[in-house]
Amino acid sequence: EPEVTQTPSHQVTQMGQEVILRCVPISNHLYFYWYRQILGQKVEFLVSFYNNEISEKSEIFDDQFSVERPDGSNFTLKIRSTKLEDSAMYFCASSLWGTSQETQYFGPGTRLLVL
Protein backbone atom coordinates (compact mmCIF):
# COMPACT_ATOMS: atom_id res chain seq x y z
CA GLU A 1 0.00 0.00 0.00
CA PRO A 2 1.39 3.45 -0.86
CA GLU A 3 2.51 5.49 2.11
CA VAL A 4 3.86 8.90 2.99
CA THR A 5 7.50 8.90 4.06
CA GLN A 6 9.44 11.50 6.00
CA THR A 7 13.13 12.12 6.61
CA PRO A 8 14.88 12.42 8.92
CA SER A 9 13.04 10.63 11.70
CA HIS A 10 14.88 12.73 14.29
CA GLN A 11 16.75 16.01 14.01
CA VAL A 12 18.65 17.93 16.66
CA THR A 13 19.70 21.48 15.88
CA GLN A 14 20.99 24.59 17.58
CA MET A 15 18.75 27.59 18.03
CA GLY A 16 19.06 29.96 15.09
CA GLN A 17 19.99 27.25 12.60
CA GLU A 18 17.99 26.43 9.51
CA VAL A 19 16.36 23.02 9.18
CA ILE A 20 14.68 21.32 6.26
CA LEU A 21 12.21 18.53 6.86
CA ARG A 22 11.49 16.29 3.93
CA CYS A 23 8.42 14.38 2.90
CA VAL A 24 7.51 12.17 -0.02
CA PRO A 25 3.71 12.22 -0.42
CA ILE A 26 1.72 9.47 -2.08
CA SER A 27 2.52 9.74 -5.76
CA ASN A 28 -0.88 10.59 -7.28
CA HIS A 29 -1.97 12.93 -4.50
CA LEU A 30 -2.43 16.60 -5.23
CA TYR A 31 -2.75 18.19 -1.77
CA PHE A 32 0.00 18.26 0.80
CA TYR A 33 0.00 19.34 4.42
CA TRP A 34 2.24 19.93 7.37
CA TYR A 35 1.05 19.54 10.94
CA ARG A 36 3.02 19.67 14.16
CA GLN A 37 2.61 18.38 17.68
CA ILE A 38 4.46 20.02 20.53
CA LEU A 39 5.03 17.52 23.33
CA GLY A 40 1.91 17.15 25.43
CA GLN A 41 -0.22 19.31 23.12
CA LYS A 42 -2.62 18.75 20.24
CA VAL A 43 -1.61 18.09 16.67
CA GLU A 44 -1.96 21.48 14.93
CA PHE A 45 -2.37 22.39 11.29
CA LEU A 46 0.47 24.44 9.82
CA VAL A 47 -0.02 24.72 6.07
CA SER A 48 -1.64 23.15 3.04
CA PHE A 49 -0.19 23.20 -0.47
CA TYR A 50 -1.67 22.63 -3.90
CA ASN A 51 -0.50 23.27 -7.42
CA ASN A 52 2.83 24.67 -6.21
CA GLU A 53 1.19 27.25 -4.00
CA ILE A 54 0.19 27.54 -0.38
CA SER A 55 -3.57 27.00 -0.14
CA GLU A 56 -3.90 27.89 3.49
CA LYS A 57 -1.71 28.53 6.46
CA SER A 58 -2.34 28.84 10.16
CA GLU A 59 -1.19 31.68 12.37
CA ILE A 60 1.67 29.44 13.49
CA PHE A 61 3.10 29.45 9.97
CA ASP A 62 4.93 32.76 10.11
CA ASP A 63 7.75 34.14 7.97
CA GLN A 64 10.23 31.72 9.51
CA PHE A 65 8.49 28.84 7.77
CA SER A 66 8.38 28.01 4.10
CA VAL A 67 7.28 25.04 2.01
CA GLU A 68 8.41 23.89 -1.37
CA ARG A 69 7.92 21.09 -3.83
CA PRO A 70 11.38 21.11 -5.38
CA ASP A 71 10.73 18.21 -7.72
CA GLY A 72 7.94 15.84 -8.64
CA SER A 73 8.15 13.76 -5.49
CA ASN A 74 9.46 15.73 -2.51
CA PHE A 75 7.64 18.24 -0.32
CA THR A 76 9.74 20.16 2.17
CA LEU A 77 9.21 22.33 5.22
CA LYS A 78 11.99 24.81 5.98
CA ILE A 79 12.42 26.64 9.24
CA ARG A 80 14.86 29.49 8.62
CA SER A 81 16.01 30.33 12.13
CA THR A 82 14.85 27.78 14.64
CA LYS A 83 13.62 28.73 18.09
CA LEU A 84 13.36 26.59 21.18
CA GLU A 85 9.58 26.56 20.80
CA ASP A 86 9.87 24.95 17.37
CA SER A 87 10.76 21.68 19.09
CA ALA A 88 7.95 19.33 18.12
CA MET A 89 6.96 16.34 16.04
CA TYR A 90 6.25 17.45 12.48
CA PHE A 91 3.86 15.39 10.39
CA CYS A 92 3.48 15.54 6.65
CA ALA A 93 0.21 14.40 5.05
CA SER A 94 -1.24 14.13 1.58
CA SER A 95 -4.65 13.64 0.03
CA LEU A 96 -5.95 13.24 -3.49
CA TRP A 97 -8.48 16.07 -3.82
CA GLY A 98 -8.12 17.95 -0.57
CA THR A 99 -11.80 17.92 0.36
CA SER A 100 -12.94 17.92 3.96
CA GLN A 101 -14.46 14.44 3.66
CA GLU A 102 -11.33 12.88 2.29
CA THR A 103 -8.75 10.90 4.18
CA GLN A 104 -5.43 12.57 4.73
CA TYR A 105 -2.56 10.07 4.78
CA PHE A 106 0.14 10.83 7.29
CA GLY A 107 3.82 10.08 7.43
CA PRO A 108 5.58 8.81 10.57
CA GLY A 109 6.79 12.26 11.56
CA THR A 110 10.09 14.02 12.17
CA ARG A 111 10.95 14.75 15.76
CA LEU A 112 12.76 18.11 15.88
CA LEU A 113 14.67 19.16 18.96
CA VAL A 114 16.04 22.70 19.12
CA LEU A 115 18.72 23.28 21.73
Partner 1 sequence: AQSVTQLDSHVSVSEGTPVLLRCNYSSSYSPSLFWYVQHPNKGLQLLLKYTSAATLVKGINGFEAEFKKSETSFHLTKPSAHMSDAAEYFCVVSDRAGGSQGNLIFGKGTKLSVKP
The residues of the shown chain that bind partner 1, judged by CB under 8 A, are 3-4, 6, 9, 31, 33, 35, 41-45, 48, 50, 55-56, 91, 93, 98-109
The answer to whether 105 and 38 have CB atoms below 8 angstroms apart is no
The answer to whether 36 and 46 have CB atoms below 8 angstroms apart is yes
- Tell me whether residue 31 or residue 87 sits nearer to partner 1 (CB atom): 31
Which residue type, as a one-letter code, is found at position 44? Answer: E
Least Å distance, CB 17 to partner 1, is 25
- Tell me whether residue 82 or residue 88 sits nearer to partner 1 (CB atom): 88
Task: Return the sign of the alpha-carbon dihedral for residues 14, 36, 72, 5.
Answer: positive
Least Å distance, CB 81 to partner 1, is 26
Least Å distance, CB 33 to partner 1, is 7
Cα separation, 38 vs 106, whole angstroms: 17
